[in-house]
Amino acid sequence: MCLYGIYKNVNIINPDQNRSVVPVDACIADEIKFLNDNSVITLASCCGHGRAGQIHTWSNAYGEWKGHHQPPIVLIREDSIHLAEDLGYRPYPYYYAEGEHDRVWNLLLKTGCITMEDCRKWHKVNKVPFKRDLGLLAESKRSASI
């Protein structure tokens, strides 16, 4: 990554969203923009923040959970999977905690922060201090992560 709490605004095309611009983890913002520019409807995304593969525990209304942190990923709508495949991605279904699928698919991203080393590199290349929660970065600051 980028560490937690560093974003860039991206224009999204999802007609069900009440906003057309959303903050996205900075190091994957260009790729999320690329997907939207190519008509892929994106939902939530996360760059992984350098923790892919590590174990974490959490709880929600459905119980106590233990699992692996995800690599850089975005959820897309089912009607976008063929477009995503044409762009070279291999989407797979997303299941909610209660076992429902609801036409949402995972897309593994090509950019983002798999290891903490990736985070460090991204901050260095983009001249962003290696600190969390810097908030929204200026639009003009182009990511070199793609």
Comparison of 46 and 81: residue with beta carbon closer to Zn ion: 46
Q: Least CB distance from residue 122 to Zn ion, whole Å?
A: 6
* The one among 24, 25, 52, 109 contacting Zn ion by CB under 5 A: 25
Q: Where are the alpha helices (DSSP H) in the chain?
A: 29-37, 81-86, 116-125
Q: Round to whole Å and give the CA distance between 96 and 44.
A: 13
- Is residue 47 at the binding interface for Zn ion, with CB under 5 A as the rule? yes
Size of the site for Zn ion (CB under 5 A): 7
Contact flag: residue 137 with Zn ion (CB under 5 A): no
Instruction: Based on the shown chain and the rule CB under 5 A, indicate whether residue 73 belongs to the binding site for Zn ion.
Output: no
* CB atoms closer than 10 angstroms to residue 26: 26
- The torsion angles phi and psi of 116, rounded to 5 degrees, stand at -60, -30
| DSSP state letter for 27 | G
Instruction: Decide: is 114 part of the binding site for Zn ion (CB under 5 A).
Output: no
How far is the C-alpha of 80 from the C-alpha of 117, rounded, in Å? 32
Q: Considering only residues 113, 114, 128, 137, which one is a binding residue for Zn ion as defined by CB under 5 A?
A: 113
> What CA–CA distance (Å, rounded) separates 59 from 49?
20
Which one of 1, 12, 29, 107 is in contact with Zn ion (CB under 5 A)?
Answer: 1
User: At its nearest, how many Å lie between Zn ion and the CB of residue 86?
Assistant: 26
- For position 109 contacting Zn ion by CB under 5 A, the verdict is no
Indicate the SS3 state at residue 42: strand
> Where does this chain bind Zn ion (CB under 5 A)?
1-2, 25, 27, 46-47, 113
